[in-house]
Amino acid sequence: MSTPPPLAGGTAGPDALRPLLDVVLDALRSGAVARGGPFPPGGPETLGTAVRETVTPVIPAEGRGAEEALRTLVEAVAHGAADPADPRCAAHLHAPPLALAVAADLAASALNPSLDSWDQAPAASALEAETARALAAEVYPDAARPDALVTTGGTEGNQLALLLARERHGAALTVVCGTHTHHSVRRAAWLLGLPEPVTVPAPAGTTDLAALDATLARLRGGPVLVTATAGTTDTGRIDPLPAIAGLCERYGAELHVDAAYGGTLLFSPRHRDLLRGIDRARSTVLDLHKMGWQPVAAGLLAVPDSALLAPLAHTADYLNADDDTEAGLPDLLGRSLRTTRRPDILKIAVTLRALGRGGLAELADRTLTAAHDLADLVEKTPALELHARPVLSTVLFRPRGAADATVARVRRSLLHDGSAVLGRARADGRLWLKATLLNPHTAPGDLETLIALVEGSSAR
Ligand SMILES: *Cc1c(COP(=O)(O)O)cnc(C)c1O
């Protein structure tokens, strides 16, 4: 019998990890060098074959050892990665994670606290409680007992928001959303057995207020949850939150704000006003693996009063027996619908402390500036058409006069070449290329390269 592989924890863990980390870091570097750009060229067939050849046999009869396995597979995945740290990788709300947050995530993995019971995570659970409350207080500065649940992202946050509303009002709850609302709201209603949401038009990319007014007048009397969006996925627009909150108050409806994208602006004195009215929502989604530069996952659902989270209370004798809770052991099971749960709060707390309010504001301001720079460049390029000036960090543009099919082809051809990763969005009845700029290191020269690539590809 050989000795089992070393563990990551305890006093010996760091020494076992250090040489393996050297292997991982070298493989990350050589993978990135081999790729040489934002995306691996060749398309799904070529890339699938390359991975298949590398990983076969997936389960060898005799192990190849830690170094070989780490080197081979980390390098393969890095070589074939869509790398959001490259300024030309700008399709989605796919953030380039900060090195300091990734380093913190390593500690989270090594310690492996699980946030379903206090005896698995005594310090991590206390850190989560403090940090979640501090973040919720950013959304709800005047609230007496703001609190937040840590989620896997906006999807889980929207689900929990709808679940909490359903528990307050029963299964006859009507969810009102816009045509621009994230698809996860509709799926959450489906999952929770709620009626199909009532959809309000959003012809200019944000909720049409007259239509919302008419809808709420029609639904008056029954329980209603209106979802507004602070940073739409397609265009980065922000709903008129004060006006929507006003309508909700007038008709006795509740408001939920999905700020998965725009929430970070709370830290920016320059842009904070864009989120005015957010504190009138009964719940708010934040997603720090978007404009928060965290590795996945780093979501939150903030509420103005921790009592609003009471419906999630749940007992399982092995995790939070009543007598343990009465004796003072914190009860964590009501903090999530998950059971075993990673301490995603550690990287978030490290980031908040390392950068402070000012550091986060500067990162947000930089990405918004990059979006304005890109919009300027598009406007100066006769062969391209700009959809609109950006609000957050999303810029929609297209080759002037092109058919939708050409726009789609340009995107796929840049992907196939591995030269740029752009998204797509439909707006005003036409298809656009979408650049979602989340990289605070993006410089004007990078944007010029991006524009030149699109011009070159659309001329082909
Ligand atoms: C990304 C996004 C979501 C979903 O968040 P995940 O972290 O992907 O689950 C929800 N709402 C909006 C507005 C988003 O942009």
Asked if the structure places residue 292 within a domain, the reply is: yes
The span from the first CA to the last CA of the chain, in angstroms, equals 63
- Atom 15 of ligand 1, residue of closest alpha carbon: 233
Tell the burial category of 172 from Cβ atoms under 10 Å away from its Cβ (0-12, 13-18, 19+): exposed
Asked if the structure places residue 89 within a domain, the reply is: no
User: Distance between CA 90 and CA 40 in Å, rounded?
Assistant: 15
Q: Clarify whether residues 76 and 136 are in a common domain.
A: no
The pLDDT tens digits for 117-130 are: 999 999 999 999 99
- Atom 7 of ligand 1, residue of closest alpha carbon: 153
| Ligand 1 lined by 182 (C-beta under 6 Å) | yes
pLDDT at 460: 80
**One-letter amino acid for residue 238 of the chain:** I
CA of 154 to the centre of ligand 1 (A): 4
pLDDT at 232: 98
CA of 323 to the centre of ligand 1 (A): 39
CA of 287 to the centre of ligand 1 (A): 7
**Cα torsion through 364, 370, 375, 376, rounded to 10:** 130
Number of domains in the chain: 3
Q: Which residues pair with 421 in a beta bridge?
A: 89
Query: Judging by DSSP bridges, how do beta strands 384-386 and 394-399 pair with one another?
Result: antiparallel
CA of 261 to the centre of ligand 1 (A): 7
The DSSP symbol for 456 reads H
Q: Clarify whether residues 45 and 77 are in a common domain.
A: yes
CA of 4 to the centre of ligand 1 (A): 41
CA of 153 to the centre of ligand 1 (A): 6
Q: Which of 94, 182, 229, 256 to mutate to test the pocket of ligand 1 (most atoms within 8 A of CB)?
A: 182
pTM exceeding the 0.95 threshold for the entire prediction: yes
The pLDDT tens digits for 181-201 are: 999 999 999 999 999 999 999
Asked if the structure places residue 100 within a domain, the reply is: no
DSSP string of 27-64, one letter each residue: HHHHHHHHH-SSS-TTHHHHHHHHHHHHH-SSS-SS--
| Ligand 1 lined by 178 (C-beta under 6 Å) | no
CA of 38 to the centre of ligand 1 (A): 23
| Ligand 1 lined by 177 (C-beta under 6 Å) | no
Closest CA to 213 of 256, 171, 159, 176: 176
| Ligand 1 lined by 227 (C-beta under 6 Å) | no
| Ligand 1 lined by 157 (C-beta under 6 Å) | no
- Atom 4 of ligand 1, residue of closest alpha carbon: 154
CA of 268 to the centre of ligand 1 (A): 21
CA of 155 to the centre of ligand 1 (A): 6
Last residue of a domain, one of 354, 377, 402: 354
List of residues 6+ apart from 245 with CB closer than 8 A = 255, 277, 280, 281
Low-confidence ranges of the chain (pLDDT < 70): none
Q: Clarify whether residues 287 and 318 are in a common domain.
A: yes
pLDDT at 2: 84
Q: Which helix (H) or strand (E) holds 423?
A: strand 423-427
Atom of ligand 1 nearest to the CA of 158: 10
Q: Which CATH number is 414's domain given? A: 3.90.1150.10
Q: Coil, helix or strand for 284?
A: strand
| Ligand 1 lined by 93 (C-beta under 6 Å) | yes
Asked if the structure places residue 1 within a domain, the reply is: no
CA of 56 to the centre of ligand 1 (A): 35
| Ligand 1 lined by 184 (C-beta under 6 Å) | yes
Strand order in the sheet with 394-399: 384-386, 394-399, 430-436, 423-427
Last residue of a domain, one of 305, 328, 354: 354
Q: Clarify whether residues 162 and 261 are in a common domain.
A: yes
Asked if the structure places residue 94 within a domain, the reply is: no
DSSP string of 353-421, one letter each residue: HHHHHHHHHHHHHHHHHHHHHHHHHHHH-TTEEE----SSSEEEEEETT--HHHHHHHHHHHHHHTS-B
Q: Clarify whether residues 303 and 417 are in a common domain.
A: no
Domain limits at 220? 112-354
User: Distance between CA 401 and CA 8 in Å, rounded?
Assistant: 57
| Ligand 1 lined by 287 (C-beta under 6 Å) | yes
Radius of gyration of the chain (CA): 24
| Ligand 1 lined by 258 (C-beta under 6 Å) | yes
User: Distance between CA 255 and CA 245 in Å, rounded?
Assistant: 7
The tokens describing 14, both together, are 């760091």
Last residue of a domain, one of 354, 374, 400: 354
